[in-house]
Structure 1
Amino acid sequence: ARCRRAGVPEEIDFATKPEIALQQVRETLEAGITPGIVLADAAYGKVTPWREQLAKWGLSYCVDVPEGISVWPPGSEPLPPKWSGLGRPPTRWQQTTEHHPVSAQALAKSLDANAYQAITWREGTNKPLCSRFTAVRVRVARGQQKR
């Protein structure tokens, strides 16, 4: 009823912000526009299918992720499944007490201070808005718990 009152056409279905963003990126690619790097905040970065679709399209992206998301630090990944040779081969990747994913926050805190760079992103009303940033390539540990 609200959509009708607002004049939204009947053929328009509900879509989440990540779904709308993917549609916009798809339309941009179909228009032949040369893609750059896709940048997004954690509202998009936490949506696995959204990141996976960007990767399927071969796009480079840099996204913020929530601090609690489990990730494998750079140079680390889950251990391959162990199989005794009997029965059905296992499919789940492994982790141990010594080899496991960590929270994005724990990874950020473990980095050396030199890994961060102060960046001013815009002028504020009283002063420039500035924070410290770093970029780290990680593998999201879907279905695996941080320790």
Structure 2
Amino acid sequence: MKKVLIVLLMAFIIIQFFPIDKTNPTTNQGMDFLKIKNTPEPIAKIIRNSCYDCHSNETKYPAYSYIQPAGWLLKNHIDEGRKELNFSTFAIYEPKRQVHKLDEAAEYVEQKKMPLESYTLGHSDAKLSDEQRKQLINYFRMVQKQIQETNRL
């Protein structure tokens, strides 16, 4: 038993030498969802607090990201989140894709799939009240409708 613990401790120490890359991609404010849609500040604050760490190029890495394997899991989660929806590059999406992404975002917020419970455990300010959920859903739906009308989708 003692040997197993020593091996596990050594493995834990060794994996600390393989940190994640915490460099955020360059942001262009002209492509950011909050800027291009002129999002009202109260809604923008909710989106920044509850969505931007995983769904933008403005991730703020917490202290536990320096400890492996937690950092690896976190980095994978962030990469997947950006792949699904990246608010920092929203302007490059085709209008049809923008509509689809906003529809998904509204659905996930409504079904309480977002923000993830695992995220809100460590980030209590990201937890959404029922009122905040309604505000986000209504905002995403409103912007979705504007895009559809503007582009005749």
The answer, yes or no, to whether TM exceeds 0.5 is no
Please identify which structure carries the higher helix content: 2
Q: Which has the larger radius of gyration?
A: 1
Please identify which structure carries the higher strand content: 1
Please classify the TM superposition score into its range, dividing by the shorter chain length.
Answer: under 0.3
